[in-house]
A and B are shown apart, each in its own frame.
Chain A
Amino acid sequence: MQVHLRIQRYNPEVDAKPYFAEYDVEVEPTDRVLDALNLVKWYHDGTLTYRRSCAHGVCGSDAMRINGRNRLACKLLIRDVGTNITIEPLIGFRIIRDLVVDMEPFFEAYKSVLPFLINDDPAPVGERLQSPEDRQRFDDTTKCILCACCTSSCPITWTNDEFVGPAAIVNAHRFIYDSRDQAAAERLAILNQKSGVWRCRTVFNCTEACPRGIQVTRAIEEVKRSLLTGDVS
């Protein structure tokens, strides 16, 4: 079947501002949007620029706006988007070129919540054991692939550069509720700041956008309630 692609293009070295380029390509309904992009790049216009790596929804590099919603191009089938497909870069980040945006601020926010295990007890000989129930507590937020679909879908981040954004909170959540970790209080203090969880207005755009099906708003609300009650169980 033939699909019509409208792709936002922008090369800051020659273009005054972004514009749309249109391409028609022949694809199968079961192909992914990424396959259509590859066809354009390989056979129509080699200058089209986008990120992708694993092509299987694991690495998180090809988040983009497809028909107005943040999606991974490698996880979205043509038959689910129809024959007219508009592709734009993520909102809220500086465009480096075409669909490639500057993710540095996103990773800065991620790093700010201490997204690693902190435990000052002497390391045991084997593993740090944990009951299945304790592991289950934060299972949902372990699935994040840092694609930025959520953060870039959040209307708050579009106008507020300070807000750490849903992805950073998801990754803080993953350690706050981990029974093996000892720095929950530190992370909660970070998220209690002006830039933290209170900026979230429960819009649920992040939850709708997450390609891993993480209940992002739920995680944020749990952190908010922990801040109110002091209870991190």
Chain B
Amino acid sequence: MVSNYRGYRPPQGMVSWALHRLAGLGVLVFLLLHIVDIFAVGYGPEAFNELLFIYRHPVFRVGELILVAGLYYHALNGVRIILVDFWSQGWKYERQMFQAVIALFLLTFIPTALLMLRPLF
């Protein structure tokens, strides 16, 4: 089945869809992790605060950055999909909207990344 995906030279729309899926699944995995760490609140504020040290670890910081990338892309491309679904002219501008998604993604992600990685240096 995976070989099917390799067998087709992806047009732009397929790239946007594959990224959307990947980002969506990534965010889902983080959500599960988040449920686990919130669970620690049940053991009192000290336990919770202690657990938060993981989030300051550099490896985790980079992981969070990937999460933010996934969130931004999924949100922006989600708006594009909504427009394709509900705006009767959406199909016409599908490609331009994808380019806009990429542009807005870079515009928002780069400053966020700089802010988030600053404490590491």
Residues of A within 8 A of B (CB): 65, 67-69, 88, 91-92, 153, 155, 158-159, 201-205, 207-208, 215, 217-218, 221-222, 224-225
Least CB distance from B120 to A in Å reads 37
Number of CB contacts from chain A to chain B under 8 A = 64
**A204–B94 touching, CB < 8 Å:** yes
With a cutoff of 8 Å between Cβ atoms, the chain A residues found around residue B12 in the complex are 204
Residues of B within 8 A of A (CB): 1, 4-5, 7-9, 11-14, 16-17, 81, 84-86, 88, 90-92, 94
Q: Which residue of B7, B14, B81 is within 8 Å of A91 (Cβ)?
A: B7
Q: Is the interface of B mostly helix, strand, loop or mixed?
A: helix
Some 26 contacts from A to B, beta carbons below 8 A apart, are A67-B9, A68-B8, A69-B8, A69-B9, A69-B11, A92-B4, A158-B4, A159-B4, A201-B17, A202-B13, A202-B17, A202-B85, A203-B13, A203-B16, A204-B11, A204-B13, A205-B8, A205-B11, A205-B13, A207-B13, A208-B11, A217-B91, A218-B92, A221-B85, A225-B85, A225-B88
Who on chain A is nearest to B11 by CB?
A: A208
Q: How far is the CA of A222 from the CA of B92 in the complex (A)?
A: 13
Other than the given A67-B9, A202-B81, 8 more pairs (CB < 8 A) read A68-B9, A155-B8, A203-B14, A205-B11, A207-B13, A217-B91, A221-B84, A221-B90
